[in-house]
Amino acid sequence: MKNPEYYCRNPFEYIIDENKVRSYDLPDVLLAKDGQFITAKEQWENQRRKELLADFAYHIYGEIPPAPDTINFQTVHQDDHALNDTACLRKIEITLTRNQKQFVFHLQLFTPKSDQPSPVFLLANNRKPADAAIDPDQSFWPARSLVLQGFAAAILNNTQLAEDCDETFRDGMMQLYPELTDKPHAWRAISTWAYGVIRCVDFLAQDQSIDATRISVVGHSRGGKIALWAAANDTRIAMACVNESGSTGTAIARRKVGETIKAINDQFPYWFNDIYKQYNDREDDLPVDQHMLVALVAPRAVCVGSALEDTWADPRGEYLSTIHASAVYQLYGYSGMSDQLPVTLDGQTLGEQLSYHIRKGVHGLTEQDWQCYIKAARTFLQID
């Protein structure tokens, strides 16, 4: 029987024999479609980044549409003495209006009692029903702990935007954009949920209690896919914390370790667009891979988390995306993540604007993961 402690300094060896992983060639994140090699950040921003963002939208996620005609924010509940009088709790009603149709959802936000705007962690949450009571001491969203450490804690239940169900996911917010729903390359659930995250950022960016330059989005599993895709599309997000996102999150698809493109499309056909189905068992034909999605967040920060027993998410594949995305961070003067930095079990590897950690245990978002994201926020976002 394997002993995880034995693999403390080489945790990936506990998971899989890398010699058995198929050989593959990754598409070059810096090689533009016209054959030009990108060597400067201006080239990246004006050409290659736009190409890749369009490719991910067309081949995988579907394009996130622009903001609606109007967005209205209204506080529908407020407790100025929350968490033993250490925080203010607000429930924000967000009303989207487009073509005279309206859609309403809610954001819940704890802010520390402070004279200064607070950095914020926004959790894209798929775990509980939208009307479930908030437990500020749960490990999945430790709002009390975040507030005591100086952070605001915001939470969006994604199922308000679209139900996590193939038969009904179109019945929610997507009804504001009926002309976009049926095309093979159109958006599906992941992009709908990411759209909701971006609308929450609209609120956080203008709220006086929030430091708009230090907005971090956190997601676990499918929520990690949402957080990363939202951050790629919205440059106001300063840091994406991508926890055990696996296939079509941060894991390299071409490795075909754990959940494959076919497996995820078969189980969740409504998460990604119909074009993506064409790449079932054809990973090598996909013009992008997930390291490129991490790179689209540059020069902003990305923190990737894995768990030792979460082999379905391919922890090494998640780590490798940070390595292969680093070439873009280097255009901005950051080293990114180096494979010379040690990865240790229950530790955290901090590069420049990129971090990675792997902990003991199974698929989940734990207090240990949160402490890694807090440390990364203090480092990358320069929070005292």
Write out pLDDT tens, residues 290-312.
Answer: 999 999 999 999 999 999 999 99
* Contact partners, residue 54, CB within 8 Å, separation at least 6: none
Strands (E), 228-353: 239-243, 301-307, 349-350
Q: Give the separation between CA 273 and CA 366, rounded to whole angstroms.
A: 31
CATH architecture, domain defined by 4-9+40-380 = 3-Layer(aba) Sandwich (3.40)
What is the secondary structure of 280-304 as a DSSP string? TT-GGG-S--HHHHHHTTTTSEEEE
**Which of 238, 259, 235 minimizes the C-alpha distance to 248?**
259
Q: Can you give the pLDDT at residue 182?
A: 84
Instruction: Output the average pLDDT for the chain.
Output: 96
Domain ranges in the chain? Answer: 4-9+40-380
Contact predicate 326/351, CB 8 Å: yes
Contact predicate 329/343, CB 8 Å: no
Q: Is pLDDT at 68 greater than 70 in this prediction?
A: yes
pLDDT tens, residue by residue, 201-249: 999 999 999 999 999 999 999 999 999 999 999 999 999 999 999 999 9
Q: Is pLDDT at 329 greater than 80 in this prediction?
A: yes
Q: Give the separation between CA 3 and CA 8, rounded to whole angstroms.
A: 9
Structure tokens at 343: 């990865």
Task: Name the pTM for this structure.
Answer: 0.97
**Cβ count within 10 A of residue 77:** 11
Q: Can you give the pLDDT at residue 337?
A: 98
Contact predicate 205/236, CB 8 Å: yes
Could you give the dihedral angle defined by the CA atoms of residues 47, 53, 57 and 58, in that order, rounded to the nearest 10 degrees?
Answer: 30
Q: Is pLDDT at 272 greater than 60 in this prediction?
A: yes
Q: CA–CA distance from 28 to each of 252, 283, 326 (Å)? A: 13, 15, 12
Q: Is pLDDT at 130 greater than 90 in this prediction?
A: no
Q: Give the separation between CA 66 and CA 85, rounded to whole angstroms.
A: 39
pLDDT tens, residue by residue, 198-213: 999 999 999 999 999 9
Q: Give the separation between CA 225 and CA 304, rounded to whole angstroms.
A: 11
Q: Give the separation between CA 6 and CA 14, rounded to whole angstroms.
A: 9
Q: CA–CA distance from 152 to each of 110, 115, 200, 204, 264 (Å)? A: 6, 13, 14, 10, 34
pLDDT tens, residue by residue, 71-105: 999 999 999 999 999 999 999 999 999 999 999 99
pLDDT tens, residue by residue, 171-200: 999 999 999 988 999 999 999 999 999 999
Confidence of residue 127 (pLDDT cuts 50, 70, 90): confident
Structure tokens at 47: 């050409």
The share of the chain scoring above pLDDT 90, in percent, equals: 93
The share of the chain scoring above pLDDT 70, in percent, equals: 98
Structure tokens at 183: 């095309």
Confidence of residue 381 (pLDDT cuts 50, 70, 90): very high
Structure tokens at 165: 């169900």
pLDDT tens, residue by residue, 5-64: 889 999 999 988 999 999 999 999 999 999 999 999 999 999 999 999 999 999 999 999
Q: Is pLDDT at 330 greater than 90 in this prediction?
A: yes
Question: 75, exposed or middle or buried, with CB in 10 Å at 0-12, 13-18, 19+?
Answer: exposed
Q: Can you give the pLDDT at residue 132?
A: 61
Structure tokens at 354: 């990129």
